[in-house]
């Protein structure tokens, strides 16, 4: 073995300098397979450009196509190989994939103990996928023929009978076949036995050859915009043993060392705040001893304003970190950091850098996510009025977005019957267009909190419920936050009034319009679904159609959710009082009724069972309750305790009935004794209602919280909680930042002002992988350029969006793509998360401006 050959390292992946080749360090999980981060993966000169290596059943697998379950994984150090056993339960089909180091290449082989089942013959193959944004426009060769990988998906396709399509997740269908009974199957761009991709780019060049199988190259974007380039070899029929063998050689640039990533705040710094850049370095790189802060003077010339030594922090996962502290520079101006021959982009030091940090989110992102409205901005229409035909009662069903309708509807409506009045108000969940009731409750609460704590009078948006029209940048005399509270409340009150309790969600009936990208108004046809008509047929009066595209209301009763809604309604009625008195009254009526009914139902149910399955939606107001996050495994017990306590506090705030405060007081100290960080925000939220004795009793816990804050300086170089889940930890970071701000507001002597900048620095660019702002924020010199929003197919973003941020891939890789928007775990802003950001940003501004 030569020094620069592939070897199996301690973290169980193959490594050469410049190349990491992972074999099922990350598994497929089923259901949300657009994650594109499983199977055999290659991190090529620092960028994860190849993934999805596995036995697959489609030429270009989509999200919701079946994925293999990994039933075994063996790492054999003596032989230098990793073997995984894969299984498709639906087809009783087992295979093994063996990856072995072969000098500068690896061999990937598929082994079968039994032949491919008949149903999958010609369909099952060895696949691996290449990130389009890193490969398009690059040259390739196949058996000596030249080509260039396409920027746009324009290869050829055929259609085949639906009966030949391998089953999709839970039997759902990703496509609308327009009544033809046929599905689209892409044809290869090229095929042959030796393929080299990116011959013109040493960082991406990779050679794949096979003597026993034909290699076919496909463009996955033909079926779905989030598809990757797919290389594939069909497994032969009737054979066992080693059936397909590939030799894969990713090019490694000799002596390659990753460029340093200099993390700093892209919006800049106010003069008196701490200013510390964190420099992320390849472990093979010798850190420099110092760096300079350069000032660009009015004549455009750069001068050194400061030179300082670097402090070593140490290693964190795969990189090495040093810090550059230039806090002593306080003179307003335009600056950049010079580290060796690397010059960062410029940023400001100025009193006003934080002034506009919430404006893009409140003026642009939030109004664009208003459902059931036409949203206009200047010459541009963001979307027409969606879902004009309203919502049908969901039948008992499973659902692709993890909702379910139980055996009964729990309503007076029959399955598929129109539930009147639900197509009003509410906010799109995230990159999708459903109304998650739990999230929408959080959203209204976040707006109410913002309103009550900071009283923002900002009016940049015209909202007419009567015209169902929103116009951005057109003031209408009403503070926008009030209009957002009203808009959220309108949908939630309608749910309570029409259904009798809260729906779990208002969502798509069919998968083939759930993945919609484009104008929300075109998701459904706006006509009532009439099963008497044939699909695609329209009634003579044009009001009904036979296309089953109407949205569904999932109505299984969840008293915990009703209780949360009741709490929110009480607060909303107070916030709306004097602005929309009628809605305020309706909200209060529903609050009282739901509170009473939910309390009674919960009492009955807790007598029946201690296993409280229904509590999935029970969540504290700060949390983001999207499906993706619902899968995070926070302890249910903790959430419930938090919920009860926070709810009592909110109820006291809404009703001023003292028994709620007494209940809160009975819970809070126990909760803090158990866990200070988890309960600090709720404890701080109580302060406006409490006396000095409460504040005094809370003080030692705040002191503990301050030492908890400090501990992050030892955990990682960035001093914030960094999440390692399959949804990046942006929300946890925001919650942390918000709590730190409130702790400082109430206990400035315990939690000093310098702490409030930790999360701001992180969000605005001081983080691993790259130094772009995770928030598309006004004032940032380099905001992220792409987000997973509903306009993601345009490789764009909606201003004010907040990305979940830094996604961890096992065992040691962090990433945030900024040229590929389709990975929700790192790039999808949500309505609950982005309204949480408004609270964080408002608190930060308030502290900075009051000094
Ligand atoms: Ca959703
Ligand atoms: Ca307004
Ligand atoms: Ca319809």
- Distance (Å) from CA 544 to ligand 1 centroid: 27
User: What pLDDT, in 10s, does the model give residues 227-253?
Assistant: 999 999 999 999 999 999 999 999 999
Q: Collect all residues with Cβ–Cβ distance below 8 Å to 227 and sequence separation of at least 6.
A: 60, 62, 132, 153, 219, 220, 221
Return the exposure string of 548-571: e unless at least 16 CB atoms fall within 10 Å of the residue's CB, then b.
ebbbbbbbbbbbbbbbbbbbbbbb
- Distance (Å) from CA 543 to ligand 3 centroid: 9
Q: Collect all residues with Cβ–Cβ distance below 8 Å to 538 and sequence separation of at least 6.
A: 527, 544, 545, 546
Q: Which ligand is nearest to the CA of 790?
A: 1
Instruction: Count CA within 13 A, CB hemisphere, residue 814.
Output: 20
Q: Which ligand is nearest to the CA of 434?
A: 1
638: pLDDT strictly greater than 50: no
- Distance (Å) from CA 525 to ligand 3 centroid: 5
Q: Rounded distance, CA 86 to CA 69, Å?
A: 6
- Distance (Å) from CA 418 to ligand 3 centroid: 11
Q: Which residues keep their CB under 5 angstroms from ion ligand 2? A: 459, 461, 476, 478, 480
Q: Which ligand is nearest to the CA of 542?
A: 3
- Distance (Å) from CA 529 to ligand 3 centroid: 5
Q: Rounded distance, CA 731 to CA 806, Å?
A: 11
- pLDDT band, residue 408 (cuts 50/70/90): confident
272: pLDDT strictly greater than 60: yes
Q: Which ligand is nearest to the CA of 525?
A: 3
User: What pLDDT, in 10s, does the model give residues 153-172?
Assistant: 999 999 999 999 999 988 88
**Residue among 469, 680, 444, 682 nearest 568 (CA):** 444
Instruction: Please tell me the pTM assigned to this model.
Output: 0.95
- Distance (Å) from CA 504 to ligand 1 centroid: 11
704: pLDDT strictly greater than 80: yes
**Residue among 368, 355, 357, 361 nearest 472 (CA):** 368
Confidence (pLDDT) at 399: 79
Confidence (pLDDT) at 656: 86
- Distance (Å) from CA 410 to ligand 3 centroid: 24
User: What pLDDT, in 10s, does the model give residues 492-532?
Assistant: 999 999 999 999 999 999 999 999 999 999 999 999 999 99
Q: Which ligand is nearest to the CA of 549?
A: 3
On whether the CB atoms of residues 501 and 557 are closer than 8 A, the answer is: yes
On whether the CB atoms of residues 618 and 437 are closer than 8 A, the answer is: no
Highest mean pLDDT among 582-586, 620-624, 628-632: 582-586
Task: Give the containing element (helix H, strand E) for 15.
Answer: strand 14-16
659: pLDDT strictly greater than 60: yes
Using DSSP, state whether 691 is helix, strand or coil. Answer: coil
Report residue 87 as tokens.
Answer: 């299984």
On whether the CB atoms of residues 740 and 751 are closer than 8 A, the answer is: yes
- Distance (Å) from CA 712 to ligand 3 centroid: 51
Please classify residue 184 by burial: count the beta carbons closer than 10 Å to its beta carbon, then call 0-12 exposed, 13-18 middle and 19+ buried.
Answer: middle
Q: Rounded distance, CA 764 to CA 113, Å?
A: 53
User: What pLDDT, in 10s, does the model give residues 422-463?
Assistant: 999 999 999 999 999 999 999 999 999 999 999 999 999 999
Report residue 300 as tokens.
Answer: 């455009």
Q: Rounded distance, CA 666 to CA 682, Å?
A: 14
User: What pLDDT, in 10s, does the model give residues 472-492?
Assistant: 999 999 999 999 999 999 999
On whether the CB atoms of residues 816 and 770 are closer than 8 A, the answer is: yes
Q: Collect all residues with Cβ–Cβ distance below 8 Å to 606 and sequence separation of at least 6.
A: 612
Please classify residue 117 by burial: count the beta carbons closer than 10 Å to its beta carbon, then call 0-12 exposed, 13-18 middle and 19+ buried.
Answer: middle
| Higher per-residue confidence, 306 vs 647 | 306
Q: Rounded distance, CA 214 to CA 205, Å?
A: 20
30: pLDDT strictly greater than 70: no
- pLDDT band, residue 850 (cuts 50/70/90): confident
Listed in sequence order, the DSSP H helices in 335-404 are 359-360, 366-368
- Distance (Å) from CA 831 to ligand 3 centroid: 25
- The C-alpha angle with vertex 150 and arms to 129 and 431, in degrees rounded to 5, equals 65
Report residue 704 as tokens.
Answer: 């503990």
Report residue 544 as tokens.
Answer: 């009904």
Q: Rounded distance, CA 465 to CA 444, Å?
A: 17
What mean pLDDT is predicted for residues 278-304? 97
The three state secondary structure string of 520-587 is HHHCCCCCEECCCCCCCCECCCCCEECCCCCEEEECCCCHHHHHHHHHHHHHHHHHHCCCCHHHHHHH
Task: Give the containing element (helix H, strand E) for 512.
Answer: helix 511-514
Q: Rounded distance, CA 94 to CA 103, Å?
A: 29
Confidence (pLDDT) at 169: 87
- Distance (Å) from CA 548 to ligand 1 centroid: 20
Confidence (pLDDT) at 424: 98
- Distance (Å) from CA 829 to ligand 1 centroid: 12
What percentage of the chain reaches a pLDDT higher than 90?
89
Task: Measure the N-to-C terminal CA separation of the chain; round to a whole number of Å.
Answer: 64
- Distance (Å) from CA 26 to ligand 1 centroid: 24
What mean pLDDT is predicted for residues 562-587? 96
636: pLDDT strictly greater than 70: no
Q: Which ligand is nearest to the CA of 463?
A: 2
Q: Which ligand is nearest to the CA of 625?
A: 1
Confidence (pLDDT) at 726: 85
On whether the CB atoms of residues 617 and 438 are closer than 8 A, the answer is: yes
Confidence (pLDDT) at 607: 83
Confidence (pLDDT) at 401: 73
Task: Give the containing element (helix H, strand E) for 349.
Answer: strand 347-349
Please classify residue 354 by burial: count the beta carbons closer than 10 Å to its beta carbon, then call 0-12 exposed, 13-18 middle and 19+ buried.
Answer: buried
Q: Which ligand is nearest to the CA of 550?
A: 3
- pLDDT band, residue 610 (cuts 50/70/90): low
725: pLDDT strictly greater than 50: yes
Mean pLDDT over the full length of the chain: 93
Q: Rounded distance, CA 598 to CA 601, Å?
A: 5
The three state secondary structure string of 91-144 is HCEEEEEEEEEECCEEEEEEEECCCCCHHHCCCCEEEEEECHHHHCCCEEEECC
CA distances from 85 to 55, 73, 96, 774 (A): 10, 6, 4, 38
Token pair 């004097």 is at which residue? 578
Q: Rounded distance, CA 658 to CA 798, Å?
A: 44
Confidence (pLDDT) at 639: 38
Confidence (pLDDT) at 33: 65
């Amino acid at each position: 073995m030569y020094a620069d050959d592939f070897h199996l390292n301690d973290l169980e992946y193959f490594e050469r300098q410049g190349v990491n080749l992972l074999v099922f360090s990350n598994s497929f999980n089923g259901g949300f397979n657009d994650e594109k981060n499983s199977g055999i993966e290659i991190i090529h000169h620092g960028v994860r450009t190849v993934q999805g290596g596995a036995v697959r059943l489609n030429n270009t697998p989509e999200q919701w196509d079946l994925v293999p379950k990994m039933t075994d994984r063996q790492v054999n150090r003596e032989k230098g190989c990793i073997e995984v056993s894969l299984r498709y339960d639906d087809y009783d089909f087992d295979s093994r994939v063996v990856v072995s180091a072969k000098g500068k290449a690896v061999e990937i082989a598929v082994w079968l103990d039994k032949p491919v089942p008949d149903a999958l013959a010609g369909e099952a193959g060895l696949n691996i996928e290449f990130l389009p944004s890193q490969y398009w426009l690059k040259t390739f060769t196949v058996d000596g023929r030249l080509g260039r990988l396409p920027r746009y998906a324009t290869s050829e396709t055929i259609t085949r009978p639906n009966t030949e399509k391998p089953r999709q997740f839970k039997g759902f269908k990703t496509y609308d076949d327009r009544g033809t009974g046929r599905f689209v199957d892409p044809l290869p761009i090229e095929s042959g036995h030796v393929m080299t991709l990116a011959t013109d780019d040493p960082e991406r060049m990779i050679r794949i050859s096979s003597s026993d199988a034909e290699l076919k190259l496909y463009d996955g974007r033909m079926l779905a915009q989030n598809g990757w380039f797919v290389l594939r070899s069909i497994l032969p029929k009737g054979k066992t043993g080693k059936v397909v063998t590939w030799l894969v050689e990713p090019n490694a640039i000799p002596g390659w060392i990753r460029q340093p990533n200099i993390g700093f705040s892209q919006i800049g710094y106010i003069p008196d705040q701490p200013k510390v850049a964190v420099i992320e370095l390849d472990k093979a790189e010798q850190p420099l001893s110092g760096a300079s802060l350069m000032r660009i003077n009015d004549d455009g010339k750069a001068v050194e304003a400061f030179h300082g030594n670097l402090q070593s922090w140490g290693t964190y996962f795969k990189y090495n970190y040093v810090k550059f502290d230039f806090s002593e520079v306080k003179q307003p101006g335009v600056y950049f950091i010079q580290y060796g021959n690397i010059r960062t982009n410029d940023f400001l030091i100025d009193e006003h850098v934080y002034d506009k940090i919430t404006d893009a989110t409140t003026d642009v992102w939030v109004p664009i996510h208003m459902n059931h409205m036409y949203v206009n901005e200047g010459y541009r229409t963001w979307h027409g009025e969606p879902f004009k035909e309203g919502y049908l009662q969901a039948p008992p069903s499973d659902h692709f977005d993890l909702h379910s309708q139980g055996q009964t509807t729990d309503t007076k409506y029959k399955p598929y019957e129109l539930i009147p009045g639900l197509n009003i108000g509410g906010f799109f969940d995230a990159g999708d267009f459903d109304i998650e009731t739990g999230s929408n409750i959080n959203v209204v609460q976040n707006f109410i909190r913002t309103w009550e704590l900071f009283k923002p009078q900002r009016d940049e948006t015209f909202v007419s419920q009567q015209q169902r029209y929103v116009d951005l940048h057109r003031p209408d005399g009403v503070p926008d936050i009030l209009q957002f509270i009203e808009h959220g409340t309108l949908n939630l009150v309608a749910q309570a009034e029409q259904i009798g309790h809260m729906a779990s969600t208002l969502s798509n009936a069919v998968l083939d319009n759930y993945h919609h990208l484009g104008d929300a108004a075109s998701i459904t046809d706006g006509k009532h679904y009439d099963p008497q008509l044939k699909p695609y047929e329209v009634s003579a009066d044009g009001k009904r159609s036979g296309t089953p595209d109407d949205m569904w209301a999932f109505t299984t009763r969840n008293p915990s959710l009703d209780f949360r809604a009741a709490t929110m309604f009480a607060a909303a009625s107070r916030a709306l009082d004097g602005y929309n008195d009628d809605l305020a009254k309706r909200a209060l009526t529903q609050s009282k009724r739901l509170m009473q009914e939910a309390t009674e139902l919960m009492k009955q149910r807790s007598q029946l069972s201690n296993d409280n399955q229904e509590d999935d939606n029970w969540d504290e107001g700060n949390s983001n309750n999207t499906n993706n996050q619902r899968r995070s495994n926070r302890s249910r017990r903790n959430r419930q305790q938090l919920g009860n306590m926070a709810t009592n506090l909110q109820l006291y705030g809404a009703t001023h009935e003292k028994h709620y405060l007494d209940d809160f007081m009975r819970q809070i100290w126990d909760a803090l004794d158990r866990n200070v960080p988890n309960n600090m925000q709720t404890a701080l939220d109580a302060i406006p209602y409490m006396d000095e004795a409460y504040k005094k009793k809370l003080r030692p816990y705040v002191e503990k919280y301050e030492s908890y804050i400090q501990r992050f300086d030892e955990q990682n170089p960035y001093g914030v909680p960094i999440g390692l889940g399959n949804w990046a930890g942006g929300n946890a970071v925001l919650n942390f930042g918000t709590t730190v701000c409130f702790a400082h507001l109430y206990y400035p002597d315990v939690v000093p002002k310098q702490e409030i900048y930790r999360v701001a620095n992180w969000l605005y660019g001081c983080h691993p992988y790259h130094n772009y702002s995770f928030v598309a924020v006004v004032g940032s010199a380099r905001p992220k350029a792409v987000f997973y929003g509903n306009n993601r197919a345009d490789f764009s973003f909606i201003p004010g969006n907040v990305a979940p941020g830094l996604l961890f891939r096992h065992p040691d890789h962090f990433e945030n793509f900024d040229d590929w928007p389709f990975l929700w775990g790192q790039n999808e802003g949500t309505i609950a998360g982005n309204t949480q950001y408004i609270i964080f940003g408002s608190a930060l501004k308030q502290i900075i401006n009051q000094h």
